[in-house]
Amino acid sequence: MQHNSATTTDVLIVGAGPVGLSLALALRHYDLRIRIVDRAPATKHEARAAIVWPRCAEIFDDLGCIDSFKDAAYALESTDVYANGERLGQLDVGHVASAHPHPLVIEQHVTERLLADALARRGVQVEFSTELSAIQVFEDRAEAILRRGDGMNELVTSAWLIGCDGARSQVRQQLGIPFEGKRRANLQVVQINAIPSWHYADAPSHGYFFLAANASLGCFSRPGGGYRFFCFTTDPDPSRTAAPTVDEMRELIAAVAYAPELTLTPTDPPWTNRARFQDRIAATLRRGRAFVVGDAAHVWAPIGGHGMNTGIRGAHNLAWKLAAVHRGEARPLLLDTYSDEQRASAQAVIDEMRFNILERPNGPLLLPLLRTLMPVGLASASIRRQIEWTLSDLAMHYRQSKLAWHYGGRQRLRAGDRVPDVAVFAEHTFVSLHRLLSMQQWTLLVSIDDRDESAVERTRAIAAAYRANIRVIGVRPQDHEAQQALGHPDSIILVRPDRHIGLLTRRDDLATLERYLDTFLIRAA
Ligand SMILES: Cc1cc2nc3c(=O)[nH]c(=O)nc-3n(C[C@H](O)[C@H](O)[C@H](O)COP(=O)(O)OP(=O)(O)OC[C@H]3O[C@@H](n4cnc5c(N)ncnc54)[C@H](O)[C@@H]3O)c2cc1C
């Protein structure tokens, strides 16, 4: 490889979008030396992804930056649903069992700026105007040529190389990984940030969905002023690629929202966008010491707004595994589970999109049916909670993963699930379970009763034999609800650093616990 200078680092991240930045921040929490480069001159100015779902907010909490997001975002509380001008009901949110139950409305350029600021506080500046041009991956290292803004080429040798370089990823292409899937036909989204004058009430915590034949319109107050309007429609003229004009958006919104009086004033700076989509997942997300994460790994139509959120969940999934293998605490096979788990997660998002009747455009025959069924559904608290649970991403699980060992019998909670955040008694106090967890450790929850804590001591003796930090805690559910959520009262639950359950088995099944730990982790000398 031709170059003018050479450097080494633990991890080279290519691409400083929301996913690369989240990954960089997570890896800094594990004290890895990282470099993060982007060919753009600065963080994006594009509004794009406008929502952070509760699971992603939990990740920002792990990364130590959730407060800045809460300060900058609107917390969503409810959304009214209309069809052909008739109000069908309301979807209220903010009820999921999480420290961050509300979806946060915040635009992508602000998300990127907050993450870049948090990263700078951890001592890493994004190297902008720096483009990856070539890579080679060896058994013990990766090499990359970077073309810097000053015109010089630099050879970077790193233990790991990660492509967070978006849908057209150079890293993915140079690794020869097929991007499997296809173009999504007959669907487009047109968007505008604008201040409306119309008859609908205006509250920062409140949004609207308007359904009409072949068009679904979402409207949410944006912290910068005005509303984000996004309208999924069928695509009668795919050759039309120009961003929509304000007049085109006004006409469309007025028609779908039944608001003929509407006037629209574009925000400053203005933003309009027309996009079409592909549903694709990379055939593998790992080639030896190189990985792809975020849009480099998977893309789809933003129905439901899960593209960025899923990418950030992938970054979180990879970070702890990479750090554990790099530090010699875990076996390299742990890294393959990132690819398997994240690919399954991406497929689940694509599958769920088919059922998103609020956002995907519905045909004229389906609409009358929705007008009949939706008021009934939205009037039911249990259906509203189910919709919210799915949207929040807290339901996303890794049950099929090699890392998920379930010996807990037939019960609702399974290995692979995110462990529920319920009230428990632990270490002499009542506490919400997630306060016991940390990205820096595995957490072994051992059910205790008042009489016998010896199971905790026996488990602790096993956990102490490994290099990884495994914190063993005796817990007792605080109430019936917590007991129901945690399942069998006589179990051990091994929680991974990303809050998902690795192993769920009976409290006396310490042989399985040891087998699990020996499969993935490395014993101390
Ligand atoms: C119109 C639209 C609306 C969307 N709405 C939503 C939504 O509501 N919710 C949601 O969750 N998602 C949404 N998405 C998707 C979301 O924007 C993406 O999923 C998200 O940007 C992915 O982040 P990323 O960091 O993986 O990639 P990107 O944000 O694409 O970042 C990749 C970075 O890599 C850099 N790069 C590329 N090649 C190189 C190279 N060779 N060398 C150096 N740097 C390089 C680029 O400059 C870029 O900064 C939307 C997308 C679009 C287009």
Point out the ligand 1 atom lying closest to the alpha carbon of residue 295. Answer: 26
Residues 126 and 162 sit within 8 Å (Cβ to Cβ): no
Instruction: Give CA torsion, residues 305, 311, 313, 317, to 10 deg.
Output: 160
C-alpha 364/C-alpha 398 separation (Å) is 37
Residue nearest to atom 44 of ligand 1 (CA): 38
C-alpha 498/C-alpha 238 separation (Å) is 41
Cα 458 from chain centre = 36
Q: How far is the CA of 267 from the centre of ligand 1 (A)?
A: 22
- Which pLDDT tens digit goes with each residue over 58-103? 999 999 999 999 999 999 999 999 999 999 999 999 999 999 999 9
The H-assigned helical ranges of 232-306 are 246-256
Residue nearest to atom 33 of ligand 1 (CA): 15
Amino acid identity, residue 320? W
Q: Which of 131, 111, 154 is nearest to 25 (CA)?
A: 111
Confidence (pLDDT) at 44: 78
Q: How far is the CA of 17 from the centre of ligand 1 (A)?
A: 6
Point out the ligand 1 atom lying closest to the alpha carbon of residue 15. Answer: 34
Q: Ligand 1 within 6 A of 39 CB?
A: yes
Q: Ligand 1 within 6 A of 165 CB?
A: yes
Point out the ligand 1 atom lying closest to the alpha carbon of residue 146. Answer: 42
CA angle (509, 515, 520) in 5-degree steps: 135
Residues 466 and 457 sit within 8 Å (Cβ to Cβ): no
Confidence (pLDDT) at 451: 62
C-alpha distances in Å from residue 462, one per residue of 443, 471, 489, 506, 519: 13, 11, 21, 15, 14
C-alpha 202/C-alpha 207 separation (Å) is 9
C-alpha 451/C-alpha 26 separation (Å) is 40
Cα 211 from chain centre = 27
Q: How far is the CA of 520 from the centre of ligand 1 (A)?
A: 33
Residue linked to tokens 């190389």: 161
Q: What does the buried/exposed string (b/e) look like for 459-481 if buried means 16 or more CB atoms within 10 Å of the residue's CB?
A: bbebbeebebebbbbbbbbbeee
Q: Ligand 1 within 6 A of 302 CB?
A: yes
C-alpha 445/C-alpha 473 separation (Å) is 5
Q: How far is the CA of 123 from the centre of ligand 1 (A)?
A: 24
- Helices and strands per DSSP (H, E), number in the chain: 13, 27
Confidence (pLDDT) at 357: 84
Q: Which of 112, 150, 148 is nearest to 133 (CA)?
A: 148
Q: Ligand 1 within 6 A of 164 CB?
A: yes
Amino acid identity, residue 399? R
Q: Ligand 1 within 6 A of 16 CB?
A: yes
Across 102-256, the runs of DSSP E, i.e. the strands, are: 104-105, 131-137, 142-147, 153-163, 179-183, 188-197, 206-212, 215-221, 227-233
Amino acid identity, residue 83? A
Confidence (pLDDT) at 410: 82
Residues 15 and 38 sit within 8 Å (Cβ to Cβ): yes
C-alpha 223/C-alpha 73 separation (Å) is 6
C-alpha 165/C-alpha 144 separation (Å) is 14
C-alpha 215/C-alpha 188 separation (Å) is 10
Amino acid identity, residue 343? R
Q: Ligand 1 within 6 A of 306 CB?
A: yes
Q: How far is the CA of 516 from the centre of ligand 1 (A)?
A: 37
Element (H, E) at 151: none
φ, ψ at 146 (rounded to 5°): -110, 135
* Per-residue tokens: 21: 């930045």
Residue nearest to atom 29 of ligand 1 (CA): 17
| Positive or negative torsion for Cα 357, 359, 363, 369 | positive
Q: Are strands 131-137 and 142-147 parallel, antiparallel or unpaired?
A: antiparallel
φ, ψ at 379 (rounded to 5°): -80, -15
* Per-residue tokens: 77: 């509380």
Q: How far is the CA of 196 from the centre of ligand 1 (A)?
A: 28
Point out the ligand 1 atom lying closest to the alpha carbon of residue 297. Answer: 26
Confidence (pLDDT) at 2: 63
Give the residue ranges of the chain where pLDDT is below 50: none
Point out the ligand 1 atom lying closest to the alpha carbon of residue 309. Answer: 11
